[in-house]
Amino acid sequence: HICGVWPNQNTMSEALPPGQMLLNAAETGNLERVKEILGSGAKIDHADEYGRTALLYAARGGHVDVVKYVVEKKCDIEAKTQSGRCSLIYAVHEGHEKVVTILLEAKADVNSTDSAGYTALMVAASNGSENLTKLLIKHGADTSRKDKVGETAWELAKDKKIRAILSTSGK
């Protein structure tokens, strides 16, 4: 280089906007960094170009401490991606039972749907997760709700145990 000055690659991440730094910290489960970035004024509900917030990233990654922290700090628990997925559906899809419990106790909408009409219960049933299916029903999941093609969680379930749980659950 003519002036003998090259950009320092190590400082490139520091040049990221605070919102993006928050998302990166949440995605990796770095609670201390999340606290630091929020403390310096980043918006808790900052979303990337797909609508994913810190809560969505943390829920998908199963980062219990980060999920607890941003929920306590009053993030939008119902925030959705462009495809309509909320943090509860992400956590169920990835099988993160502790995160699902935190979200349900924080009053996340157990019957929230994505753009295909899937609920968290449908995802749990389809994935064969007995524990999550029971947990969602316990928190009021509607077993009769249909997706956009008219299927219920029972119809999406492949596992006989899951179907039995859904059949005896009432709603």
pLDDT digits (tens, 9 = 90+) for 140-167: 999 999 999 999 999 999 999 999 999 9
| pTM (predicted TM-score) | 0.88
Tens of pLDDT, residue by residue over 84-103, are 999 999 999 999 999 999 99
Is residue 90 a contact partner of residue 59, using CB atoms and an 8 Å limit?
A: yes
Could you give the CA distance from residue 142 to residue 40 in angstroms, rounded to a whole number?
A: 41
Tens of pLDDT, residue by residue over 46-82, are 999 999 999 999 999 999 999 999 999 999 999 999 9
CATH of 17-99, one of 1.10.260.40, 1.25.40.20, 3.40.50.300, 1.10.8.60: 1.25.40.20
CATH of 110-171, one of 1.10.150.120, 1.20.840.10, 1.25.40.20, 1.10.1040.10: 1.25.40.20
**Cα torsion for 154, 157, 163, 168, to the nearest 10°?**
-40
**Cα torsion for 155, 87, 69, 48, to the nearest 10°?**
160
pLDDT at 41: 93
